[in-house]
Amino acid sequence: MRGLMAILALGAGSLLAVGEPAGSIDDVIESEMPASGVPGLAYAVVADGRLESAGARGVLTLGGDTKVTPDTPFLTGSISKSFTALAIMQLVEAGTVDLDAGVEVYLDGFSGRPAGAITLRELLSHTSGFSTLQGNTSFTDDTGGTDELAWRVDRLAGLTPAAAPGATWEYSNANYEILGRVVEVVGGDEFQSYIAEHILEPVGMTHSFVADGQVHESMATGHRPWFGGMQPLADNRMPRGTAPQGGVVASAADLARYLAMMMNGRDDVLSAQGKSLMMRPASAASPFYGLGWFVDSGDGTVWHSGSSPGYESLATMVPAANTGVVVLVNGGSGMGFGETSRLRDGITAAALGIDQADEEPRLPRQVLFAALVLLPIAYLLCMIWAWRHRVELRAKSGAAGLFSLWFPLFTTLAAAWIILDLVPRLVGSPLRTISLFQPDLGVVLVAAAVTGVLWAVFRLGVAYTARFGQGAAGPAEGRSTTRRRARHPARANQVVR
């Protein structure tokens, strides 16, 4: 279920795998943008350490006429984690934080708590022990206040990590919310203001900002999948509390400048040594993630994808070649319908002059989604069938009859538990978070679980309604027919003849 896994923001994987030639950027856009369903996209390419080219297609909002440009701000999703990591590294180089100190040193709420000993390095590299599910569980919480990040992190302080710190790698948004709060407390300013002053402005990112809970009309509007199409978000208000893990809003051209800075080998926003540390594996437990960036030592790429409700993104660097590319779209992927990975990967491969990795066909996921849509309808039809065959249902008796009546209830209850609880746990996202990213999938999952149980209960109700108070005489229809014949023996004899 690829659409669900997109919530984890793990993105595209290795782009340098053997596959088909990507063609030109325009070729990719012409072939993949219609299938993706996104209303608009923007991209920018870095070559020889500078912004070489940029382009855009489509509109800010479905049905509107305002065109996307390379300077249009998009929500970048988890690419934002690299900004938070950069801010922490600035504080390290300023001597105000230590990567190997426990978070309780900087945040009093963690003192004496199970998560207090987790180091900043472990948070940065997703080896803290916090799980994907723990990081996504409070994704929809939004107080609307300027203290929202502090409130969310106070809640995280009370959690017991799912694994021992430093032992395993697991992607978790919780890590970067905590780091964002460290930036606020140690940096002495709100996260939004710190990032603007210490990163966006020095890099020259003039069309970028950090989510502040306000509506920004200049932004591209996000669109979420809705039964084969796209549905725009009500507005582009972005919560403050999730800013450190997914709330940097930036244009493609600005992000290209950011990538160029990361690869320039100079001491500026951060030392060259500090940038290099961010872009190599953080530890033995984190062989493919550095400090805020995914790292592929095999092909030399450093990258991060982003997936937020209504937006998806991909930023890729090849530091050895001083090249990179950014792709931003204002549409979220559905299950088989409206997926954007081929579009983002294709543009990236074309810009870097490499072959695009082979992708799994969309058809199996489309068939699965269609089956989920049809399942509630099938259950409703089964209810009609049960009513029309109520005489047969009411006639069931004995052990075999009881089994056939009650077994569907247990199976549909088990299926409901799998759909509503087990599957979300396996993919690391509660159902409400799944619904936030893919509202159509959320609807069909709930509908399938609920209608299945309703069918089983309705079937039992039909079978037992006429039995109450009737003893063992048999179906109600049979007994009423016997009584009518007893009152009219002549008519009964005529029927026999």
How does pLDDT run across 71-122, given as a tens digit for each residue? Answer: 999 999 999 999 999 999 999 999 999 999 999 999 999 999 999 999 999 9
Cβ count near 210 (within 10 Å): 24
First to last CA, the chain: 64
- The answer to whether residue 305 scores a pLDDT higher than 70 is yes
Place of tokens 């596959």: 19
Q: Residue 495 pLDDT > 60, yes or no?
A: no
**Do 112 and 228 fall into the same domain?**
yes
| pLDDT at residue 19 is higher than 70 | no
In a domain, 248, yes or no: yes
Beta carbons within 10 angstroms of residue 457's beta carbon: 15
Q: Same domain, yes or no, for 373 and 441?
A: yes
> Would you say residue 1 has pLDDT above 90?
no
Question: Are 350 and 367 part of one and the same domain?
Answer: no
Q: Give the domain-ending residue among 323, 357, 391.
A: 357
- The pTM of this model reads 0.87
| 350 and 388 belong to one structural domain | no
Per-residue pLDDT of 355-395, as tens digits, reads: 777 677 888 888 999 999 999 999 999 999 999 999 999 99
**Number of domain units in the chain:** 2
Instruction: Tell me: do 276 and 411 sit in the same domain.
Output: no
Same domain? For 453 and 328 the reply is no
The reply to whether 330 and 377 lie within a common domain is: no
If asked whether residues 187 and 296 sit together in one domain, one would say yes
Q: Residue 497 domain-assigned?
A: no
User: Is residue 290 in a domain?
Assistant: yes
Q: Of 357, 372, 394, which closes a domain?
A: 357
Answer for the pair 12, 326: CB distance below 8 angstroms, yes or no: no
Task: Say if 292 falls within a structural domain.
Answer: yes
Domain housing 394: 363-465
Q: Is residue 287 one of the residues assigned to a domain?
A: yes
Q: What is the pLDDT of residues 457-484, one digit of tens each?
A: 999 999 998 765 454 444 444 444 444 4
The answer as to whether 491 is a domain residue is no
Each residue's pLDDT tens digit, 395-411: 998 999 999 999 999 99
The Cα 236–Cα 75 span in angstroms is 9
Are 333 and 406 contained in the same domain?
no
Q: Which of 337, 357, 377 is the last residue of a domain?
A: 357
Same domain, 291 and 353: yes
What is the pairing mode between strands 311-318 and 301-308?
A: antiparallel
Is residue 20 a part of any domain in this protein? yes
Flag whether 479 is in a domain: no
